[in-house]
Structures are given as C-alpha cells and as structure tokens.
C-alpha cells in the first residue's frame, strides 16, 4: 500500500473534496451545510481521496465549532483515524446519521466505520441525540394556556435561571461542563450559545404560573442554518407538571409567528421526558447524531 498524504484544501482545489462518494450525506443536513475550503482536509493515496473531513462554524467564528463531515473509503479506517489525529482542529465531532440508521445495512456499515475510525483517533462518544425537523404539515401543537410568558432583558436573571435548570439535568453536554467546572460553567455555556445565535435577544422568554411563580425558560432562536428550538428548561421545583411541553409548544408558535417555515430541534436520546415532549408537540425525528469529544 502506498504512502498516505494528508493535507488541507484551498479555493483552487476545493472540488477534490467531493470526489469521494458518501452514502450518508444525501438528504441530511450535510447536503445543505457550507464549509470553508481551508477548514477541509483530505487523505490521499496515489492522488485519490481515501478519507476527508470538513469542520464547521458560524459566519463570524474564527475557528471551527465542530467537525460534522468525516468519511472514509472502504478499507481506509486507519487513514481516516490519521486524518483526525493530525488535524489542527481538535473539537467535537458530530456524526450525522439518518433516522433509524441501525436498521439500514448501508447506513449501518458507513456509520460503524466512522465510529471505529474516530475511536482509533482517540475520540470518545459523549452522547447520541435525536434531531427534529418541524414543518407546517406537522400541525401546530396545542397551547395548554397554563403559563404566562415574558421577555427577560437581564442576562444575570437568565444566568440564574440556567443555573437552577442545570442543577438537575439530563443533558450530557451540561453534565460534562458541570463535571469539569461546575454548574456555573454549564449555565454560562448555554448563555454563550444564545448570544452566538443571530436571532434577536428579546426573543428569550421566562415562563410563570398565573400566581407569578417561575417555571422555566424557552429560547426561540435562529442558528446559522435557520429557525430552531434554542433551549427548553424547567426549574427543579416545577418539574413533574408537564411544563416542558408548554414551553416547547410556545416556542413552536413563537417561531411560526416570526415567519419560520421549518423548526429544527434536538435532545439527547437518553432524555426520555424531552423526547416524549417533542413527539407530543408533533416534531418528527429526521436524523440521529453521535457526539464525540476529542
């Protein structure tokens, strides 16, 4: 087997990236994603692409947010692992897969090959998540009408609510932040994400009972790809009342009132209550994603 050449791409040879067919990219978010040429790297053998990776970030990001396109030719898992090991971008890898991928032999083979290559590169699975894609054909969820929603302009108040929400959480990313640096860090990472989104700050809303008791927060947002459920959180003392559904229903209505023609959402597969709320609100699962840490 000839030696492997790993290198970055440029504007002049960016088309080389697409010379490797990918059974997973058609119809997924990857088909619509935009990647900067200098954030793409390929592994070549005899001038032929045998592994490739593309890192993604928002339009104002100076460094990539994550790796979301990585694939390999048959029999080239070690080449893929070396491509990841030698990358200057050591960020989270988000493997995008079709819904029900384990039941599809083609998707299963492609997904497992990427998992093996990422693992060989030293990456660890953090969590598997569902991705949702609501459209008007799904129908608007019923608003229960139990809560009052108010914008909250003070970041300090929002941060305090996030601390309370994350003091008891099922979210793997928040749990990792808590394990590394405490609940304040988990709350700050959420707040930083809200600000990173290009949608208006005044969209963030707190929810209260008619008696004025805080229930939680919902953040209708736009990420660089379009409208999304930015965050749903219920404070610990209000859990068990089904309020997360109320927040999700309100978030869906709010985004539609702002002109959204689709709404993306996501939750950890192990967060059974939130997954049930997405199903109840009519948000169908369209993809599954596996998140790896470098």
Number of domains in the chain: 2
Asked whether residue 129 is domain-assigned, the answer is no
What's the chain's average pLDDT?
A: 95
What's the CATH number where 162 sits?
3.40.630.30
Q: Looking at residue 10, what is its pLDDT?
A: 83
Per residue in 89-101, pLDDT (tens digit) is: 999 999 999 999 9
Rg over CA atoms, the chain: 20
Max Cα distance, the chain (Å): 72
Assess whether 83 and 172 both reside in one domain: no
What's the CATH number where 85 sits?
3.40.630
Identify the weakest region by mean pLDDT among 18-22, 83-87, 102-106, 278-282: 18-22
Per residue in 209-232, pLDDT (tens digit) is: 999 999 999 999 999 999 999 999
The parent domain of residue 82 ranges over 4-122
Laid out side by side, the sheet with 93-98 consists of 4-8, 40-45, 48-56, 66-72, 93-98, 285-293, 124-134, 263-268, 226-234, 214-223, 205-208, 148-151
Q: Looking at residue 15, what is its pLDDT?
A: 83
Residue 76, φ and ψ in degrees, nearest 5: -120, 35
Assess whether 264 and 174 both reside in one domain: yes
| Residue given tokens 């539609």 in the structure block | 256
Task: Give CA separation, 5 vs 8, 78, 79, 83, 117, in Å.
Answer: 10, 13, 9, 9, 17
Asked whether residue 174 is domain-assigned, the answer is yes
Residue 32, φ and ψ in degrees, nearest 5: -110, -10
Per residue in 2-40, pLDDT (tens digit) is: 789 999 988 888 888 888 888 786 556 665 677 888 899
């Amino acid at each position: 087997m000839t030696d492997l050449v790993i290198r970055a791409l440029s504007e002049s040879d960016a088309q080389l990236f697409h010379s490797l067919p990918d059974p997973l990219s058609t119809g997924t978010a990857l088909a619509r994603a935009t990647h900067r040429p200098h954030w793409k790297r390929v592994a070549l053998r005899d001038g032929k692409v045998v592994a490739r990776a593309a890192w993604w970030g928002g339009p104002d990001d100076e460094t990539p947010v994550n790796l979301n396109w990585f694939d390999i030719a048959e029999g080239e898992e070690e080449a893929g692992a070396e491509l990841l090991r030698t990358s200057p971008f050591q960020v989270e890898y988000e493997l995008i897969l079709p819904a029900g991928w384990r039941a599809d032999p083609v998707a299963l083979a492609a997904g497992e090959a990427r998992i093996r290559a990422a693992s060989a590169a030293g990456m660890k699975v953090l969590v598997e998540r569902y991705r949702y894609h609501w459209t008007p054909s799904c129908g608007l969820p019923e608003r229960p009408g139990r809560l009052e929603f108010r914008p909250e302009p003070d970041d300090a108040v929002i941060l305090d609510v996030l601390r309370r929400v994350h003091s008891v959480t099922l979210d793997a990313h928040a749990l990792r932040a808590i394990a590394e640096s405490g609940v304040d860090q988990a709350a700050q990472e959420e707040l930083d994400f809200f600000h990173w989104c290009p949608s208006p700050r005044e969209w963030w809303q707190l929810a209260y009972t008619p008696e004025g008791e805080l229930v939680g927060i919902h953040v209708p947002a736009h990420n660089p790809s379009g409208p999304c459920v930015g965050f749903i959180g219920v404070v610990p003392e209000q859990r068990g009342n089904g309020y997360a559904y109320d927040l999700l229903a309100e978030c869906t209505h709010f985004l539609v009132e702002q002109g959204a023609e689709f709404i993306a959402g996501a939750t950890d597969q192990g967060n059974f209550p939130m997954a049930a709320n997405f199903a109840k609100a009519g948000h169908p699962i369209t993809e599954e994603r596996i998140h790896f840490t470098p």
